[in-house]
Structure 1
Amino acid sequence: MSTNDSLTFHWQDDDLDDDNFQIRHNTRLYMLVLFSIILLVTIIFFLYSRCTISSRASSTTSSFYHTSPPSSQLRGLNAAAINSLPITIHRQALSNTNDTTLECTICLGVFEEGEKVKVLPVCYHRYHCECVDKWLVTHSSCPICRTSVRVDSPF
Structure 2
Amino acid sequence: MGSLPLSEPLRWPYAEFDEKIFQIHSRLRFSIVVVCSISIIATIIFFYTRWICRFSASNPPAPSDSAIRHFPPEPSPRRGLDLAEIENMPIVLYRNLSAGGGKFHEAECCICLGLFSAKEKVKVLPPCRHCIHSECLDKWLSTQSSCPLCRASLQVDSPV
> What's the TM-score, normalizing by structure 1?
0.52
Matched, 1:88 2:97: no
Larger RCO (CA within 8 A; separation ≥ 6): 1
Of stretches 43-52 and 137-146 in structure 1, the one that deviates more from structure 2 is 43-52
- Shift in CA distance, 54/102, structure 1 to aligned 2, threshold 3 Å: farther
Among 4, 7, 23, the alignment partner of 1:4 is: 7
Task: Tell me the equivalent position of 1:78.
Answer: 82
Paired residue type of 2:89 = L
Q: How many residues align?
A: 109
Secondary structure, counterpart of 2:7 in structure 1 = helix
Paired residue type of 1:81 = E
d(CA) in 1 for partners of 2:54 and 2:158?
A: 49
d(CA) in 2 for partners of 1:105 and 1:53?
A: 42
d(CA) in 1 for partners of 2:108 and 2:154?
A: 20
Paired residue type of 2:127 = V
1:6 CA drift (Å): 2.5
d(CA) in 1 for partners of 2:104 and 2:144?
A: 28
Contact 2:90 2:123 in 1 (8 A): yes
* 1:36-82 C-alpha deviation (Å, 9 max, x unpaired): xxxxx697565446458889xxxxxxxxxxxxx953x4232122211
The unaligned stretches of length 5 or more in structure 2 are 13-43, 60-73
Matched, 1:115 2:120: yes
Question: Which structure features the higher share of helix residues?
Answer: 1
Percent identity between the two aligned chains: 45
Of stretches 126-135 and 139-148 in structure 1, the one that deviates more from structure 2 is 139-148
d(CA) in 2 for partners of 1:78 and 1:147?
A: 17
Of stretches 44-53 and 84-93 in structure 1, the one that deviates more from structure 2 is 44-53
Paired residue type of 1:5 = E
d(CA) in 2 for partners of 1:50 and 1:96?
A: 60
* Higher gyration radius (CA): 2
The unaligned stretches of length 5 or more in structure 1 are 10-40, 56-68
Contact 1:140 1:149 in 2 (8 A): yes
1:97 CA drift (Å): 9.4
The list of structure 1 runs, each at least 4 consecutive aligned residues, that deviate by more than 4 angstroms after superposition, is 41-46, 48-55, 95-98, 152-155
1:132 CA drift (Å): 0.5
